[in-house]
């Protein structure tokens, strides 16, 4: 889960909600630049964090009693295998994009070295079964990664004030994209990579005013009792 500390308490967004936001962003990509395997790319973007169902986990708290942010979650082979299993059950192409994401997240982690090495061997078999190429997977994954990065910036409340820019990531075309607030208080991305000149996306969050919890069960109880908020974010090509 994505955990933001605010004056009012913990603002929490689930990993699945973040993934859905990433897919909403992906769906706006300019049509002429969409990957050939477009629907599978879009589905993989939506589901790249679907194995993270926080309320099924037992270790959701820091030692201080506050909720644990996703960045504090270590490599877990069981989680990665569950995520891949969900992908493989739909298509090898989706599994390949999920595999790429796992390598992106954990490729430099010494604990994941053996696992990621084995994963690359599986990728070679899946590419043949998907009747795809390394280049095609690269293009789709870079789009997934871009949408993931932009979604995380939004969910982490990381958009800088006063029209300052923040880098999102490199896109499938190799260009580096930046995010900032435009003069009309909408968000804009430069260069503009989307089909529509204006669009709106959204994600859900919960606000917990209790800052520490005795255990995970108490946290879950408060999480389910918290009111739900829908954040709507408008993007505009015009600055």
Helices (H), the chain: 15-26, 38-47, 77-88, 92-106, 113-129, 134-155, 216-225
Instruction: Print the domain residue range for 152.
Output: 2-236
Q: How confident is the model at residue 184 (pLDDT cuts 50, 70, 90)?
A: confident
Mean pLDDT across 37-60: 88
Mean pLDDT across 36-52: 91
Q: Could you tell me the two tokens for 155? A: 């969910």
**Total number of residues shown for the chain:** 239
Q: What is the pLDDT of residue 116?
A: 95
- Positive or negative CA dihedral for 169, 31, 190, 235? negative
Segment 198-216, tens digit of pLDDT? 999 999 999 999 999 999 9
Q: What is the pLDDT of residue 161?
A: 85
Residue 237 carries which DSSP code? S
Overall domain count for the chain: 1
Q: Could you tell me the two tokens for 209? A: 């005013």
Q: Write down the residue that tokens 């917990």 correspond to.
A: 208
Segment 72-86, tens digit of pLDDT? 888 999 989 999 999
Rounded Cα distance between 145 and 44, Å, is 11
Distance between first and last Cα of the chain = 32
Q: How confident is the model at residue 196 (pLDDT cuts 50, 70, 90)?
A: very high
% of the chain with per-residue pLDDT over 70 = 100
């Amino acid at each position: 889960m994505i955990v933001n500390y605010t004056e009012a308490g913990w603002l929490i967004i689930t990993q699945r909600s973040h993934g859905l936001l990433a897919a909403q962003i992906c769906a706006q990509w300019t049509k002429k630049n969409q990957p050939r395997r477009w629907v599978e790319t879009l589905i993989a973007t939506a589901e790249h964090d679907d194995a993270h169902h926080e309320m099924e986990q037992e270790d959701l708290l820091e030692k201080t009693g506050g909720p644990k942010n996703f960045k504090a979650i270590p490599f877990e082979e069981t989680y990665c295998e569950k995520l891949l299993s969900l992908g493989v059950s739909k298509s090898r192409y989706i599994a390949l994009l999920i595999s790429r994401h796992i390598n992106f997240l954990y490729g430099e982690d010494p604990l994941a070295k053996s696992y990621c090495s084995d994963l690359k061997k599986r990728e070679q078999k899946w590419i043949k079964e998907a009747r795809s190429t390394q280049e095609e997977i690269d293009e789709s994954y870079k789009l997934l990664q871009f949408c993931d990065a932009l979604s995380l910036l939004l969910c982490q409340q990381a958009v800088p004030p006063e029209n300052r820019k923040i880098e999102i990531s490199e896109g499938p075309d190799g260009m580096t994209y930046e995010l900032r607030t435009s003069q009309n208080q909408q968000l804009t991305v430069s260069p503009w990579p989307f089909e529509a000149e204006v669009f709106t996306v959204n994600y859900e969050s919960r606000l917990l005013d209790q800052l520490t919890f005795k255990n995970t069960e108490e946290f879950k109880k408060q999480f389910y009792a918290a009111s739900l908020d829908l954040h709507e974010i408008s993007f505009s090509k015009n600055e």
